[in-house]
Amino acid sequence: MYPSAPIVSKVVVVGGGVFGVSAALHLARQGVRTVLVNDGPLASGASGRSLAWLNSARRRSADYHYLRLAGIDRYRTLAAKHPGAAWLRFHGGLTWDADDAKNEIATVFAHERSIGYDARLLSAEEIGSITPGVDVRSVPPQGAIFNPGEGWVDLPSLIDLLVNEFQTLGGEVVTDGGRAKLLARGGRAGGVVLENGSEIGADAVLLATGAAVPSMAMDIGKTIPDATPIALLVRTEVIDHPLEAVLNTPRVAIRPMPTGGFALDSAWSEEEVLTHADGTHHVNQATIHGLLEEASKVLAGNPKLAVASYSIGPKPIPGDGEPVFGPLKEMDGCYVAFSHSGATLGLIAGELLAGEIATGEANPLLYPFRPERF
């Protein structure tokens, strides 16, 4: 049961990533007629190329940290409901810094412990007995932090699960609709217009279009600062390897995949992605192979990794690094969801935004992340 009856009868959610699909499902659960619209197939944007590490590691604002903890809590509930799911695992996360003057592992460990975040500071010698699959020779003398409560999710698999329930509840899905534009009626959001000119009317609209949120908000006069980079995610061929945790290391981040391979990304490989004048992106094979080599160095046995596929595209990040959730004052009935931590926040953000849209009741957990802060 939800605390209040819906005050809207129909909502259009624009964006087929985890924020949009999660919000659409929660709206449908509250009895709101909901249409989910995407420019291409579902999970074809940032959700389809996310490392999808479920965490609140290192340091950030207290409000952001507690929202992330609520996000992880929702995944724990989901994992209990689907204990055999290969696409959702909680085997912890292991992180270390480079062996230089910028190494912050001791400071970060003290901070995490001070806020009650489950953390263990491990020496290289201790890692093998706690979390397998790491070449401990790559761990510096300062050690590594193991966060046992962290995990990972395969977002396309999660989106499939959520959409199936959404459609069972009567939700409508429109894919390959091209870029949707807000439809204004009487000074408020009245639905969207698809590229083919067809209109979908509604009482409210949620823009959950990832990196496109700032430009869509700008169309109605709202500026949302944008720090979105172009990211690269490399997926390896299936390999038999004992690593179960997510690794976050100076030169590569590694997350197991349900298929048995690994997903890889890094900050340095992002910087080597080329953007052409027409807006398309390209990465040299040397960058991809360099990422594979960096992954091999930190994996036990230094296995030879082969590329199965890779994806290039925007990684949504607001200008101040904090999420942007809630209504736009520039247009009544228009809401946005824009954040870097899409995987960790996907379930909780969709739930809370759907509650606000359906009932008109603001949720205090989202107060610090309102668009009007800009």
Domains and CATH numbers, the chain: 10-48+155-225+319-373 (3.50.50.60), 90-151+227-314 (3.30.9.10)
pTM: 0.96
What span, in angstroms and rounded, lies between the C-alpha atoms of 87 and 235? 15
Provide the pLDDT for residue 5: 78
Provide the pLDDT for residue 281: 93
Amino acid type, 210: G
Longest CA span, the chain: 66
Provide the pLDDT for residue 362: 96
Provide the pLDDT for residue 243: 98
Provide the pLDDT for residue 302: 98
Phi, psi of 151, deg, nearest 5: -160, -160
List b or e across 43-78, with b for residues whose CB sees 16 or more CB atoms inside 10 angstroms.
bbbbbbbbbbbbbbbbeeeebbbebbbbbbebbeeb
CB 14 within 8 A of CB 20: yes
Provide the pLDDT for residue 6: 82
CB 253 within 8 A of CB 247: yes
Provide the pLDDT for residue 3: 65
Q: List the chain residues with pLDDT less than 70.
A: 1-3
Q: Which residues pair with 314 in a beta bridge?
A: 230
